Amino acid sequence: LEAPGLSTAFNLKEKPKYGIVDYFYERSYLPEGIEPSILITDIFSEVRIPNATGRVFVVPAGYLSLDYVSKVDDLHATTVIDGDKNLWSIFKQEIQEQLKPDILLIDSRTGINQWGALSLIQAADEAIIFIFPNEQNQQGIELLLESLQTLKNLSINFVFSPVTDVTNSGLDKVKNIWNSLLEKIKNETYENYDTDEEDSNTSNEQPENDELLVIPYLVPIALADSYPIPEIQDYYSKITNIIDEKNNEIKRSKVLNIVEQRWEILENLKFPEVNVADQKQDLSLLFQRTTDFEKFLDDTTCLIRGKKGTGKTALYWLFLKHQELAQKLARGRLDNTVFLSGHGRFQESRPTREEFQIIHGTLQEKNGTWEAFWRAYLLFRCDQEELLKFPRGNKGKRGKFTELKKIINNLPKDTWQSESTKALLELSTNSQLILTVKDAVNIILNQEAKEKSQKLWFLYDDLDEDFSEAGELRQQALTGLFQLVQSCDASRLTEIRFKIFLREDIWNRLSFDNKSHFTGRDIILQWNQIDFLRLALRQAIQSQDFKNLVDQVSPVAVESIDIANEEELDKALELLWGSRRRRGKVSRWVYERLTDSSGTTFPRSLSLLLEGAKEQELTFRGKSLTQIRTERLLQGKSLEFGLKEASKKRCQEIKEEYPYLINFFDSLKGKLAFLTKEELQEIWQNLPEKILENFEEFISLMGEIGIIEFWEKEKRYKFADIYVYGFEIIRQGTV
């Protein structure tokens, strides 16, 4: 009201007769029983916005004149309260009756006078504070925040505008001011925060910078005669999303506020882990393509790396057990491709760890190579699948395969017996048969596939479990497999493609000639945030009741999940877990808590977190709805409980993955989640069995497997949240 020029920035259809100061002034001094002459319809006008889907109305403060100034001064000196109603409540009631607006925006100065108090304290459900990032403005805003501490339900957000320096150094300054302001917000019941969660400030907590709102200095805004300016609206989209959150919460609350229906929906929620080996699961509804899927399909991609639990085995089984779905997901790229298990659990008739020990010893004794073994094994697998058709007759070129044909055809196909091991060893150590096997792969397999315009995919899995790490067995066996790939590439066997699924740490420790041959021909399986959100929505809408709710609020068709953007997914999932939690989005909280320190996220952990949260939420049944957030199904406390359940399972898995680290993992119980280098070194030194001789190598290993990361600001090592609760590490501050 002290700066009444805002309304002139809009292209109004017609100029209102009066402003809100006139409206307030008349009602402040009107004798009792006399109807006011300035009506609500006299103080607003519609903004001209071409092709707009909604409508915007502006209520000007008034028209600047000596009369306006005297009215504002007089209102400053007069109580805002009139009888049992205040000016704001009268205005709000009449504007609601006339226009029924979705949102009411009030432009206010940040001064702490009566008019600032009217706008920010009496009128607002939430405040968006625009601040130019300098110390002078920061001090003024901090004083304002102190005056707002008594408000229990006021959501506060900051927008830094205009920011003249958007370089890293300039944004660092903005972040420092932002962090300082956030520290001033100590009331735990702001709607930015989950009211059902404990909160405490700690130096070990870092704000989620995706919520930092910055508007750079923009010349079109500075020079504009009127608003809006279409070409710069993207800069303001985050602000509109924040304003929209309240309306979305109200809408979701209406959908979920039927008590019994709420608990029935919760009971029917299922969060099944994707098990591609389970024939009963409908994978077409559950399997989630990641952003790496297209790269995986490339002919040149032969190595698929990743940690245990990232989906390597799921891909292996998908292409072997669910070929129709796999080809559908590939969208025409694999229509004439045959998929075979080169090695792995899909094929029951295969050598296991014990046989590989014997094979390794015999190859060493007879100077055989693992490359020759893998080639013979590949040929045998083709014979098992009836893809190997030897030429008929025994003369000339056909006759060269007679002995090979006799050996392979006499082997049992359904079970792996000692004869199978002996035969493959003979094919791997007899110099003449080694050459014959190579010719069979080159001439029979590759050439026949080429004539049929066909590709042969050989998939390899379970290599970490079937090859012992002791001695040189795993090193030599895997080296031989990759040498086979190199040999096929050198021979230009373009119809034979390899897909080798291997644990990331095993690949990193593997050393062989020309390892760089696989640079650019590998992918690391990782789940980014949008992949994770898509998987969460896929799982949640397995419940028809929940899907019906999503269709009411933010419909995303099952067949459209793979192309839905993050905003659409977020909105659909807000019914499940809400929109915001403390300083950021719930979806981001879930993703980051299930991501280890190396950036690897585990889809299995998502299922466990959501299932645990659901079971915890059901314990609230019977409580008053006033004690829970009604705009979501899962409270913050329930998500925290689910995180702890997921952490326990993940810790169990990593113990199985790295059994030689169990003593270290067990020693973490009762330790802080943040440790200095000296504290971590003391734990390492006190282990009953030494893990690596060099402490720096130990630190490197812990970082590689995703247990810890170094935080430069604190000069400490932080344990990843996904491991904190399962190893019973003490985490200070908020979850």
Write the pLDDT tens digit of every residue in 472-492: 899 999 999 999 999 999 999
Q: How far apart are CA 321 and CA 278, in angstroms?
A: 9
Residue with tokens 């060893």: 425
Q: Which is more confidently placed, 458 or 235?
A: 458
- Greatest CA span in the chain, whole angstroms? 121
Helix pair angle (603-618, 586-593), 10° resolution: 120
pLDDT at 2 over 60: no
Q: Of the candidates 279, 159, 151, which has an alpha carbon nearest to the alpha carbon of residue 215?
A: 159
pLDDT at 394 over 60: no
The whole-number pLDDT of residue 194 equals: 42
The whole-number pLDDT of residue 396 equals: 57
3-state class percentages of the chain: helix first, strand second, coil last, to nearest 5:
50, 10, 40
Q: Which of 255-269, 647-661, 700-714 bottoms out in mean pLDDT, i.e. has the lowest?
A: 255-269
pLDDT in tens, 395-418: 656 678 889 999 998 888 889 999
Tokens, residue 339: 């998929």
112: Cβ–Cβ under 8 A, 6 or more apart, which residues?
143, 144, 147
In three-state form (DSSP H/G/I as H, E/B as E, the rest C), the secondary structure along 136-204 is: HHHHHHHHHHHHCCCCCCCEEEEEEEEECCCCHHHHHHHHHHHHHHHHHCCCCCCCCCCCCCCCCCCCC
Q: Which of 243-257, 274-288, 563-577, 657-671 bottoms out in mean pLDDT, i.e. has the lowest?
A: 243-257
Region 237-262: what's the mean pLDDT?
A: 72
Contact 25, 75 (CB under 8 A): yes
Neighbours of 205 (CB within 10 A): 14
- Range among 16-20, 57-61, 665-669 rated most confident: 665-669
Q: Which of 208-222, 335-349, 601-615, 649-663 bottoms out in mean pLDDT, i.e. has the lowest?
A: 208-222
The whole-number pLDDT of residue 347 equals: 92
Q: Where are the beta strands (DSSP E) in 475-536?
A: 496-503, 522-524
pLDDT at 658 over 50: yes
Q: How far apart are CA 543 and CA 718, in angstroms?
A: 38
Q: How far apart are CA 401 and CA 391, in angstroms?
A: 8
The whole-number pLDDT of residue 257 equals: 63
pLDDT at 77 over 50: no
Contact 434, 372 (CB under 8 A): yes
Tokens, residue 104: 């009411």
pLDDT at 686 over 60: yes
Q: How far apart are CA 520 and CA 511, in angstroms?
A: 17
The whole-number pLDDT of residue 195 equals: 42
Q: How far apart are CA 451 and CA 464, in angstroms?
A: 36
Neighbours of 149 (CB within 10 A): 12
CATH for 6-252 is 3.40.50
Q: What are phi and psi of 633, to 5 degrees?
A: -85, -35
pLDDT at 569 over 90: yes
Q: Which of 157-171, 254-268, 451-465, 522-536 bottoms out in mean pLDDT, i.e. has the lowest?
A: 254-268
Q: How far apart are CA 221 and CA 332, in angstroms?
A: 48
Tokens, residue 121: 């304290």
Contact 652, 642 (CB under 8 A): no
The whole-number pLDDT of residue 116 equals: 55
650: Cβ–Cβ under 8 A, 6 or more apart, which residues?
309, 602, 605, 722, 723, 726
pLDDT in tens, 166-221: 888 888 888 888 888 877 765 433 334 344 444 333 334 444 444 688 888 888 88
Q: Which of 141-155, 353-367, 471-485, 489-503 bottoms out in mean pLDDT, i.e. has the lowest?
A: 141-155
The whole-number pLDDT of residue 172 equals: 86
Contact 600, 306 (CB under 8 A): yes
The whole-number pLDDT of residue 121 equals: 59
Instruction: Tell me if the bond preceding 228 is cis, omega within 30° of 0.
Output: yes
| CA 541 to chain centroid | 18
Residue with tokens 């009836």: 386
Question: How is the chain split into domains, by residue range?
Answer: 6-252, 253-290+526-657, 291-524, 659-735
What is the distance in angstroms between the CA of the first residue and the CA of the last residue of the chain?
A: 43
The whole-number pLDDT of residue 203 equals: 37
pLDDT at 115 over 60: no
pLDDT at 734 over 60: no
Q: How far apart are CA 225 and CA 60, in angstroms?
A: 17
Q: How far apart are CA 537 and CA 106, in angstroms?
A: 36
- pLDDT, the chain, mean: 85
Q: How confident is the model at residue 29 (pLDDT cuts 50, 70, 90)?
A: confident
709 burial via Cβ count (<10 Å: 0-12, 13-18, 19+):
middle
The whole-number pLDDT of residue 122 equals: 58
Q: How far apart are CA 295 and CA 292, in angstroms?
A: 5
pLDDT in tens, 599-648: 999 999 999 999 999 999 999 887 776 667 778 899 999 999 999 999 99
- Three-class SS of residue 47? strand
pTM as predicted: 0.73
pLDDT in tens, 43-61: 999 988 877 778 999 999 8
Pairing of strands 708-711, 716-719: antiparallel
CATH for 659-735 is 1.10.10
Q: How far apart are CA 666 and CA 610, in angstroms?
A: 26
